[in-house]
Chains A and B, each alone.
Chain A
């Protein structure tokens, strides 16, 4: 017998000396493992209904949770010198002279209801963050709540456990098409923060808009070789093969539900093969003109343009296509002996936050926005309201929680969690003061409260927070 005919008769596993594959399916077929179509039906329901563009009669499911976007200002932003933290009694600190704001009589401006921000001197904003938000979120502000979290964190570090994405996923937030989205490679959270309590599944890294678009279409070796109709043919073959294999497995006890699901999968197959317009591009949405205007993007915007990336991530998270989104902007380790570098970075942060909120307003969707950093900065000791930043100072750290509700601004019991001390630092005596992970859990608790899902808090977080602690941190 020739070598070639030997090879025809022998599969690779035999050629290389292995035994015949034994699959879990083989065990099922021989009765070694039990099989129950009724038991697996719920699992297959999701498999056959991937929730995208479902056909008539086929269910499209979204998680129903409030969308979550996290923005990380990497490097140690002066967040407590934009939002102005108060003492335990809600009064201004005696001085903010190492926080870049001068003495205790900081001119304040109130936004998001009654939240104090560093106001203006000679009509020039001290808080560039506030300036940026007001520039870019003209309609969203009136329906947005804000809570400042007074929390110390490690300077210039990726080891602060600020991320809540694993927690919100555990609570049920998921995307109908895409997983969580992130902008930082080699990070399970998508940003330079560790996860609090639960590590989320790896996010889809969005280096450019094509990362989102490409996730939904045939690419790889197929992208440049098969034309659209050939891709359709392939998608049909895959779907029909899987359908046939499913029927074989469930042949003796296929339920009406399974049959319906199989029918629905045919529609899904067509969707899969027609992925030219998957509804992930904010520019092609019915509200595309408004969204493009907010972000300053258009059809010709470069693929990796940050505003295009952020707009697409925000859009898909708000739409329910994606799970939680986590953006990161660098350049916040800005203690370079000037105020201008930091002011420019804070203005960018404010504008970005404003655009995210305004996107939610345009789409008429609720949004939970969480802004973090790693550490903070210190100014030279000065009564100047614009003293220069000259060193790291993580003990004066803060995080922000913003909640946009299309129905109107949700009331808060207080606009800060924790407080600052006369020493111009986040008080260590509070639940959140010296522990980013506790701060993240507090933020998550507020998220659950807004979702009316406090009942799952303990099952997700454990018993680290008793009711007393919860009372201390819940603001909604």
Chain B
């Protein structure tokens, strides 16, 4: 039987590697512009905090690294600027006790910059060479995005961001979000291809800001 004690060692390894939600990140050194995520009491304290809670929220440092890892985009200046502007609003003590509404908004804002860069990166590729958005034609109006294409995109995002496909309920929520998004398009802009990009930006951001991603 595996016990908490047996998990301590791997958990510590996770922490040392700037633990993120997923374990697939490389163990890497400091990234220019970002703090180590360690507090003045060192990793022991952080480890203790994490092990003493069923759930923890990713710190600002972990979030930015996690988002970079799952999207595969570089730290563009827009991302760094957003991070610097928002990091004070995110937790750095891993505690759910410190979660606030502005923190969630800030995480969404940070996520939006990663998604924006991801879209920019993928739009520059041919459809066949895209990893995330090979179902989406960004040159056409949002009304041309079929439910099947949208749902397939959700699964790709789900696999990459959450490590799994979406549940039926999650897909339903995001499809409802898509519908509301489209209904909110101003008259005269419904045929704009830009709205397709904005829909994907919104969807991608929503998945990076969801509970599944931001907690450990």
List the interface of chain A (C-beta within 8 A of B). Answer: 2-4, 7-8, 11-13, 15-16, 18-28, 32-36, 39-40, 43-44, 46-47, 50-52, 175-179, 199, 201-205, 211, 214-222, 225-227, 229-230, 232-234, 236-238, 240-242, 244-246, 248, 268, 271-272, 275
Report the bound CA distance from A239 to B205 in whole Å.
Answer: 12
Indicate if the CB atoms of A220 and B128 lie closer than 8 Å: no
Closest residue of B by beta carbon distance from A240:
B173
Residue B145 interfacial (CB < 8 Å): no
Which of B70, B96, B173, B181 makes the CB contact (< 8 A) with A244? B173
8 Å CB contacts to A: which residues of B170-201? 170, 173-174, 176-177, 180-181, 183-186, 194, 197-198, 201
15 additional contacts (CB under 8 A) given A40-B55, A241-B212: A3-B129, A4-B128, A11-B159, A12-B160, A23-B163, A24-B216, A50-B102, A220-B82, A220-B109, A222-B205, A225-B197, A225-B201, A234-B206, A238-B209, A241-B174
Report the bound CA distance from A179 to B87 in whole Å.
Answer: 11
Q: A234-B206, A245-B211 are in contact. Are A12 and B55 (CB under 8 A)?
A: no
- Counting chain B CB atoms within 10 Å of each CB, which of A39, A52, A216, A271 scores highest? A216
Residue B156 interfacial (CB < 8 Å): yes
Residue B108 interfacial (CB < 8 Å): yes
Report the bound CA distance from A236 to B206 in whole Å.
Answer: 9
Indicate if the CB atoms of B116 and A33 lie closer than 8 Å: no
Indicate if the CB atoms of B54 and A238 lie closer than 8 Å: no
Residue B64 interfacial (CB < 8 Å): no
Indicate if the CB atoms of B102 and A230 lie closer than 8 Å: no
- By Cβ-Cβ distance, the 8 closest A-B pairs, closest first, are A21-B22, A18-B24, A21-B163, A229-B184, A50-B101, A237-B177, A220-B109, A221-B116
Report the bound CA distance from A218 to B198 in whole Å.
Answer: 14
Report the bound CA distance from A316 to B23 in whole Å.
Answer: 40
Report the bound CA distance from A33 to B2 in whole Å.
Answer: 9
A157 → B minimal CB distance (Å): 21
Q: Which residues of A contact B102 (CB under 8 A)?
A: 50, 177-178, 215-216
Q: Which residues of B contact A175 (CB under 8 A)?
A: 100
Q: A199-B40, A222-B205 are in contact. Are A13 and B216 (CB under 8 A)?
A: no
Residue B13 interfacial (CB < 8 Å): no
Query: What are 23 A-to-B residue pairs whose CB atoms are below 8 Å?
Result: A8-B134, A13-B24, A20-B24, A23-B23, A43-B53, A44-B96, A46-B99, A47-B96, A52-B101, A178-B89, A203-B88, A204-B88, A215-B86, A216-B102, A220-B108, A220-B110, A220-B111, A221-B116, A222-B108, A230-B181, A234-B108, A238-B104, A241-B212
List the interface of chain B (C-beta within 8 A of A). Answer: 2, 4, 7, 21-25, 40, 53-56, 70-72, 78, 82, 85-89, 92-93, 95-106, 108-113, 115-116, 127-132, 134, 152, 156, 159-160, 162-163, 167, 169-170, 173-174, 176-177, 180-181, 183-186, 194, 197-198, 201-203, 205-207, 209-212, 215-216
Report the bound CA distance from A268 to B193 in whole Å.
Answer: 32
Q: A11-B156, A33-B7, A202-B88 are in contact. Are A226 and B202 (CB under 8 A)?
A: yes
Q: Which residues of B contact A220 (CB under 8 A)?
A: 78, 82, 108-113, 116
SS of B interface (majority): helix
The total number of A-B Cβ pairs within 8 Å is 228
Q: Which residues of A contact B86 (CB under 8 A)?
A: 215
Indicate if the CB atoms of A46 and B96 lie closer than 8 Å: yes
Q: A39-B54, A220-B113 are in contact. Are A4 and B96 (CB under 8 A)?
A: no
Q: Which residues of B contact A25 (CB under 8 A)?
A: 212, 215
A180 → B minimal CB distance (Å): 8
Report the bound CA distance from A232 to B100 in whole Å.
Answer: 18
Indicate if the CB atoms of A222 and B109 lie closer than 8 Å: yes
Q: Which residues of B contact A230 (CB under 8 A)?
A: 180-181, 184-185, 198, 202
Which of A7, A27, A33, A177 makes the CB contact (< 8 A) with B134? A7
B151 → A minimal CB distance (Å): 13
Report the bound CA distance from A81 to B97 in whole Å.
Answer: 45
Closest residue of A by beta carbon distance from B117:
A221
Report the bound CA distance from A103 to B198 in whole Å.
Answer: 72
Report the bound CA distance from A7 to B72 in whole Å.
Answer: 14
Closest residue of A by beta carbon distance from B119:
A221
Closest residue of A by beta carbon distance from B174:
A237
Indicate if the CB atoms of B89 and A204 lie closer than 8 Å: yes
Report the bound CA distance from A52 to B105 in whole Å.
Answer: 13
